[in-house]
Amino acid sequence: MATHDSPIRDVVIVGAGAAGLSAALTLTRARRAVTLVDAGEPRNAPADAVHGLLGLEGITPAELLARGRTEVLAHGGQFVDGQVVDVSCASYGFAVELRDGRSVHGRRLLIATGLVDQLPDIPGVREQWGHGVLHCPYCHGWEVRDQRIGVLVTGPMAVHKAFLFRQWSSQVVVFRGDHQLSDEEIVKLRALDIPLVDGAISGLEAEGDQLTGVRLEDGRVVAVDAVVVAAPMVARVEPFAGIGLEPTPHPAGSHIETDAFGQTSVPGVWVAGNATDLGAQVSGAAAAGALAAQHINTDLINKNLDRAVAELGNTHDGRNA
């Protein structure tokens, strides 16, 4: 077991969101030396609250992360604030390089960097992101139930989002913009009584912080209370290219492939949370972090056990010589 003042940590976790913090809590409680590196840019920061998290429904993202950090610190975990720019293999495991020139070293690596939402270049979308502009019905559907919901067709998953949000409201409308829909999609929208609005979108309308409508280039404004976008979700993989990790295309964007326990094809590297599971809510990301942590700990135990057995064998061989 590495000591807490060792320059080589048992596990380095990149990303201190729900997945990273949950993994760190599990590992520190297993008496592992753990360092989390975080750039301080959580994906859900714009959201007003975290939903669907048992026992913590409605907690703010900032409060959830603050509680998680406190718990990890209480068990001996360490935090390094900074942006990872490169990771390389080393004899002991991995060297994690930060933009400011610092480095962190670990026997095992857990990637919990989440995703980047590639928002459409429509005026008002970024300003309303996480408030009036949504993407996940399970995260925010209850909050916009029975309201007027506009779905912007900005990618291949948009119509699917309309089908989902129809469960929460009968007032769903799809803005086709310049995109073509298949005959099958149009039939399904009609079957659910979801109207289509044609015409290029020029922006979103708002009064103060409150979203009020979708403005079309022909001057029309269609009143809505919320807008849904199916923005591509892209895994952050650039810093890990040096150890052989590459993004895998996904209908909703890209992700990092792992097995059921978060282990990648690169020995010693695990991934947890949205970086590998695009659809995971906070609860799912936290659970995945804990699961990956258990398997990382077991892997380290087995590695130490193999070493101990080998040393015992060498000792016996020496005595028998």
Q: Which parts of the chain fold into alpha helices (H)?
A: 18-29, 61-74, 125-128, 137-140, 158-165, 183-191, 282-320
Burial string for 241-260 (b: 16+ CB within 10 Å, else e) reads: eebebebeeeebbbbbebee
Encode pLDDT of 32-48 as tens digits. Answer: 999 999 999 999 999 99
Could you write out the DSSP letters of every residue in 188-205?
HHHHTT--EEEB-EEEEE
Q: Say yes or no: do domains 8-117+232-320 and 125-229 share a fold.
A: yes
- Superfamily of the domain at 125-229: FAD/NAD(P)-binding domain (3.50.50.60)
Profile the chain (321 residues) by mean pLDDT over runs of 10 residues. 62 98 98 97 91 95 97 98 96 96 97 95 95 94 97 92 97 94 96 96 96 96 97 94 94 95 97 96 97 98 92 71 54
Encode pLDDT of 145-178 as tens digits. Answer: 999 999 999 988 999 999 999 999 999 999 998 8
Closest CA to 104 of 1, 208, 2: 2
Task: Name the one residue in this structure whose structure tokens are 């769903």.
Answer: 172
Domain assignments of the chain as residue spans, ordered by start:
8-117+232-320, 125-229
pTM equals 0.92
How confident is the model at residue 314, as a pLDDT? 77
How confident is the model at residue 2, as a pLDDT? 38
Closest CA to 28 of 2, 54, 61: 2
How confident is the model at residue 5, as a pLDDT? 42
How confident is the model at residue 125, as a pLDDT? 97
| Strands (E) located in 99-171 | 103-111, 115-117, 133-134, 149-152
Contact 204, 211 (CB under 8 A): yes
How confident is the model at residue 1, as a pLDDT? 39
Looking at CATH, the fold of the domain delimited by 8-117+232-320 is given as FAD/NAD(P)-binding domain (3.50.50)
CA 187/CA 189 separation, integer angstroms: 5
How confident is the model at residue 4, as a pLDDT? 37
